[in-house]
Amino acid sequence: MNDMTPTREQRSAALEGMGCKRKRVEDIRFTQGKGNYVDDVKLPGMLHGDFVRSPHPHARVKKIDDSEALKVPGVLAVITAETLKTVNLAWMPTLAGDVQMVLADGKVLFQNQEVAFVVATDRYAADDGINKVVVEYEPLPPLVDPFKSMDKDAPVLREDLAGKTSGAHGPRKHHNHIFEWTVGDKDLTDAAFNKADVKIKEMISYHRTHPSPLETCQCVCSFDKIKGELTIYGTFQAPHVIRTVVSLIAKLPEQKIHVIAPDIGGGFGNKVGAYPGYICAAVASIVTGKPVKWVEDRIENLTATSFARDYHMTTEVAATKDGKVTGLRVHVLADHGAFDACADPSKWPAGFFNIVTGSYDFPTAHLAVDGVYTNKAPGGVAYRCSFRVTEAAYCIERAMDILAQKLNMDPAELRLKNFIKPEQFPYHSALGWEYDSGDYHTAMRKMMETTGYAALRKEQTEKRAAFARGETREIMGLGVSFFTEIVGAGPSKNCDILGIAMFDSCEIRMHPTGAGIARVGSKSQGQGHETTWAQIIATEIGIPADNIMVEEGNTDTAPYGLGTYGSRSTPVAGAAIAMAARKIKAKAQMIAAYKLEVHEDDLEFDIDGFRVKGLPEKFMSMKDICWAAYNSVPPGMEPGLEAVSYYDPPNMTYPFGAYLCVMDIDVDTGVYKVRRFYALDDCGTRINPMIIEGQVHGGLTEAFAIAMGQEIRYDEVGNVVTGSFMDFFMPTAVETPHWETDFTVTPSPHHPIGAKGVGESPNVGGVPAFSNAVNDAFSFLGSTHIQMPHDFWRNWKAAKALGAVA
Amino acid sequence: MAKTHVTMKVNGAEVEGLVEPRTLLVHFIRENLQMTGTHIGCETTHCGACTVDIDGMSVKSCTMFAVQAEGSDITTVEGMANADGTLSALQEGFRMMHGLQCGFCTPGMIMRAHRLLKENASPSEQEIRMGISGNICRCTGYQNIVKAIQYAAAKINGVEFREAAE
């Protein structure tokens, strides 16, 4: 070989495949303001729609008078429930098996509910029109506290459900009850509690919050009357599902609906569901014959589309006196707001909350979840989490700390004592899951060693003594969190959305010159799929990632996929990509064998082509094979080089991680300072470490926001009081802590490339780390549990309640 | 509503248009000039996605009327690339340091960072964090945005960029 021949390392590096910190393809356009987001879509003759919204949380709608609005220059139409009834769209099905008003039909059930849709020539005229629509309301008593939902005398919220004693998920116990979901062995769990040495019980609330991506929800709907075709540009995390839902509810043939999700400015679960704005814009386009744009403003986003969490979890743990857990019992009161619009797989009314046994070997557990209606916005989306997994992780991680406190054990030691052991995988949990792989002890010990955990505990002891002596007013908390996630929904045996199995898909088409296009059923909202998906293909087939264009979001061209949320893209779409690439590679091998005049079995894949075993000089590059695929394939073989894969995962994947938050709190002001935050994540095989680190930073920042202040709050009469970024905590660069990241690698045994998914881990693990730090700081003053969010005021209140402040 | 004629300079070119007195500058830029790089995230001046540079100041264009910008000199993200079309130091920094994910805050963030570096050619981490605190990012956690701006500062100053120790 001469000096010019690239080394194996150079050939491998040239691919920019898996494991490489490849710079993002997307950034070239995004840094130049050339992204194409929904609000950038401008069609000829396009109109704008905007909502009249209810000022009341609960009221009867007596009359809607649009006569003055229709006189406003530029206003073309005012759509109400009565208009929608003519096309049978006044109500729409939710993903959770409930129905939801598109526009107020007889009454309103939450503040800022959509009442009428004003269509005008521009967004200013639409706003003028809104101000002229006169709605007459008769206020009704609001139901705000979910704990009062099932009171005997609680107001009836959903009159449409009168007499319905069962819903999509079984029997209803009360007119404001949605479902009860139980999992696990009650008798065995009761028995474990009866003979337990030690028990703890705590009501742990996870407050209502909101994903609030920087780009709000929006769409442009354009109906072509001649062709009978509807084109929808929208902020959709799951464009194919939207197409199917629109087809089913609007009774349009599915091939005549074109859904395009262009660049999306963050999703975090907010953009999974279907919202009244989409339906109204589509109907308005059908009615007017013009394209109609609907762009939500920030107040509407925070108050009307898709809150997250609002779980109130009464949690009990049974244990032996030396700290071995023997049973877990959890009852959840789930506040779903006015309609059950949770974006969970259809058969899972509380998502995957039954991952609540966490990383611990609980011999038995029992879980019951009651969903109730209140006069609040509908939603219940997975805000950067996989279907209620973050609620579950918070519940168990808080409970383990409370148990440690009761046993006077170190929280890290208690966890180490109860972890599922490496040799127990695949592990069957008491609540029905099969964990694929894990090495929790290694991750935990690495966290403890890297952070100097023992020394930090020693410092805390000294600081507490100094506090007791009156030498400092600052207290110190160590927040330990060890989470196990369940992501990659999911296997068709247990996951579907409205009957569609939760597979994902990829189509790869290689061109003659050794370049190609991959179309995928997932949809990036910032995760960088155009970059990472090409890396998987690069490693699998030996074509440089730069030569692979990735396309998502156009339902006419991409194969059917269930979209991007719940950290499912790498586990499911990522697998489909690898499988499609392997089909390409298999055909390429046949072509190479033909061209090199050997048997296929005599070839081995070598980085970027096939080599004859034992004859290193006989080599055909993938680039050359691509060319050959278009002119000299073996006799009987079809020309071309493309493949499609629909991947139905055999199991979920179970990423995990060990986090530590070190926090100092001034008791006199409640002001906290995150001194240090360390996050070790194990997401299996790592495709692009740069992007993983970025995902972890972002997820931790959202966890920080949620734990330390970010709340959708209602007052006692149902007014939402957190309607802007002034009131809803959005951390800036100043408040946001510095993040330290680390990792271990435990590949998933059932995933084609061993990857598990990472986007949501930091949010799932981060929230308990922050909350445990605050609770750990206060614990020596006698508290067991302080509810989130832990803002300065609440910290000060806690200090005062515990007698630390006069 | 009666319209008013406005003229201003945007990215070096003289532009003009007819706007209502209430037309927001961001809408004039996005709708009339069809430069959609400047984004709208909150319409209440909190998020900074609409940040542009006006007469040497960072301004949130969602809470300024187009008529208030009469005669001014505006730079938007579309005016940030080098004259030869290559990425400027800041744009390159954001890409190299993974300072963006969904890209929605990026134009505003770059415009703010552009002015920050004009005001302070070698800002410390704390000065950068303070300097961009009017701009919200939901994806990155800011850490890599800080590095992106440090990268750009080093490149503009002609010194070697050293990533801060983790």
User: For residue B149, what pLDDT band results from cuts at 50, 70 and 90?
Assistant: very high
Mean pLDDT over all residues of chain A?
A: 97
Tens of pLDDT, residues A366-411: 999 999 999 999 999 999 988 999 999 999 999 999 999 999 999 9
A536 CA: distance to closest CA in chain B (Å): 19
| Same-domain pairing of A522 and A640 | yes
For CA atoms A245, A491, A357, A173, the dihedral sign is positive
Residue A167 lies in a domain: no
Closest Cβ–Cβ partner in A526, A527, A701 for B141: A701
Put simply, the answer to whether A698 touches B101 (Cβ < 8 Å) is: yes
Tens of pLDDT, residues A550-561: 999 999 999 999
B92, closest residue in chain A (CA to CA)? A31
Instruction: Beginning with the edge strand found earlier in the chain, give each strand of the sheet holding A292-295 in spatial order.
Output: A75-79, A114-120, A47-53, A292-295, A218-224, A229-234, A257-260
Average pLDDT over residues A562-590: 95
| Residue A481, C-beta contacts closer than 8 angstroms, at least 6 positions apart | A393, A397, A658, A659, A660, A661, A765, A766, A768, A769, A772
A479 CA: distance to closest CA in chain B (Å): 20
Put simply, the answer to whether B77 touches A730 (Cβ < 8 Å) is: no
Residue A180 lies in a domain: no
| Same-domain pairing of A590 and A511 | yes
Cα–Cα separations (whole angstroms), residue A154 to A145, A157, A242, A573: 10, 9, 35, 46
Residue A351 lies in a domain: yes
What residues in B contact A30, CB-CB < 8 Å? 100, 103, 106
Average pLDDT over residues A495-516: 95
| Residue A456, C-beta contacts closer than 8 angstroms, at least 6 positions apart | A478, A662
| β A496-497/A500-501 pair status | antiparallel
Mean pLDDT over all residues of chain B?
A: 96
Put simply, the answer to whether A35 touches B103 (Cβ < 8 Å) is: yes
Put simply, the answer to whether A266 touches B102 (Cβ < 8 Å) is: yes
Residue A343 has pLDDT above 90, yes or no: no
Q: Which of A72-86, A491-505, B59-73 has the lowest average pLDDT?
A: A491-505
| Same-domain pairing of A561 and A607 | yes
| Same-domain pairing of A605 and A659 | no
B159 CA: distance to closest CA in chain A (Å): 22
Residue A249 has pLDDT above 90, yes or no: no
A262, closest residue in chain B (CA to CA)? B102
* Domain stops at, among A647, A681, A705: A647
A264, closest residue in chain B (CA to CA)? B102
Task: Give which of B27, B139, B151 to mutate to test A binding, by max A Cβ within 10 Å.
Answer: B139
- pLDDT for A178 equals 98
Residue A311 lies in a domain: yes
What residues in A contact B100, CB-CB < 8 Å? 24, 27, 30-31
Indicate left, alpha or beta for A497 from its phi (over 0: left) and psi (-120 to 50: alpha). Answer: beta
Peptide bond preceding A426 in cis form (omega within 30 of 0): yes
| Same-domain pairing of A293 and A340 | no
Q: Name the pTM for this structure.
A: 0.97
- Tell me which residues of A are annotated as active site: 237, 384-385, 760
Put simply, the answer to whether B138 touches A698 (Cβ < 8 Å) is: yes
B144 CA: distance to closest CA in chain A (Å): 8
* Domain stops at, among A583, A617, A647: A647
Closest Cβ–Cβ partner in A700, A724, A739 for B46: A724
| Residue A77, C-beta contacts closer than 8 angstroms, at least 6 positions apart | A70, A118, A119, A284, A287, A288
| Same-domain pairing of A607 and A483 | no
* Domain span holding position A629: 8-35+504-647
* Domain stops at, among A647, A679, A700: A647
Distance between CA atoms of residues A259 and A240, nearest Å = 7
Residue A186 lies in a domain: no
Tens of pLDDT, residues A725-759: 999 999 999 999 999 999 999 999 999 999 999 99
Q: Are A610 and A599 in contact (CB under 8 A)?
A: no
| Same-domain pairing of A249 and A294 | yes
What residues in A contact B27, CB-CB < 8 Å? 123
Q: Which residues pair with A63 in a beta bridge?
A: A136
- pLDDT for A723 equals 94
Put simply, the answer to whether B138 touches A266 (Cβ < 8 Å) is: yes
| Same-domain pairing of A50 and A86 | yes
Task: Give which of B52, B106, B142 to mutate to test A binding, by max A Cβ within 10 Å.
Answer: B142
Residue A220 has pLDDT above 60, yes or no: yes
Residue A215 has pLDDT above 80, yes or no: yes
| Same-domain pairing of A406 and A516 | no
Distance between CA atoms of residues A53 and A283, nearest Å = 18
Q: Phi and psi dihedrals of A403, rounded to 5? A: -65, -45
- For residue A354 the two structure tokens come to 């039954």
- pLDDT for A76 equals 98
Q: Which residues pair with A679 in a beta bridge?
A: A659, A741
Residue B163 has pLDDT above 80, yes or no: no
| Same-domain pairing of A567 and A447 | no
User: For residue A3, what pLDDT band results from cuts at 50, 70 and 90?
Assistant: low
User: For residue A1, what pLDDT band results from cuts at 50, 70 and 90?
Assistant: very low
Put simply, the answer to whether A215 touches B96 (Cβ < 8 Å) is: no
What residues in A contact B83, CB-CB < 8 Å? none
Cα-Cα end-to-end distance for chain B: 57
| Same-domain pairing of A322 and A368 | yes
Closest Cβ–Cβ partner in A33, A298, A526 for B102: A526
Query: The CATH number of the domain where A569 resides is what?
Result: 3.30.365.10
Residue B25 has pLDDT above 60, yes or no: yes
- pLDDT for A263 equals 98
B37, closest residue in chain A (CA to CA)? A33
Residue A116 lies in a domain: yes
Closest Cβ–Cβ partner in A33, A528, A702 for B38: A33
Q: Which residues pair with A183 in a beta bridge?
A: A367
Put simply, the answer to whether A732 touches B49 (Cβ < 8 Å) is: no
Residue A545 lies in a domain: yes
Matching residue, tokens 């003759």: A45
User: For residue B56, what pLDDT band results from cuts at 50, 70 and 90?
Assistant: very high
Closest Cβ–Cβ partner in B102, B128, B144 for A697: B144
Closest Cβ–Cβ partner in B91, B105, B130 for A214: B105
The beta strands (E) that lie in A320-364 are given as 325-335
Tens of pLDDT, residues B28-48: 999 999 999 999 999 999 999
Residue A244 lies in a domain: yes
For CA atoms B51, B54, B56, B59, the dihedral sign is negative
Closest Cβ–Cβ partner in B34, B38, B41 for A215: B41
Put simply, the answer to whether A32 touches B135 (Cβ < 8 Å) is: no
- pLDDT for A173 equals 96
Q: Percent of chain A at pLDDT above 70? A: 100
CA A14 distance to own-chain centroid: 34
- For residue A333 the two structure tokens come to 């009161």
Residue B165 has pLDDT above 60, yes or no: no
Tens of pLDDT, residues A161-183: 999 999 999 999 999 999 999 99
Domains in chain A, number: 3
- pLDDT for A2 equals 54
- ipTM above 0.85? yes
Query: The CATH number of the domain where A128 resides is what?
Result: 3.90.1170.50
Put simply, the answer to whether B43 touches A732 (Cβ < 8 Å) is: no
What residues in B contact A726, CB-CB < 8 Å? 44, 46
Residue A418 has pLDDT above 90, yes or no: yes
| Same-domain pairing of A119 and A89 | yes
Put simply, the answer to whether B87 touches A215 (Cβ < 8 Å) is: no
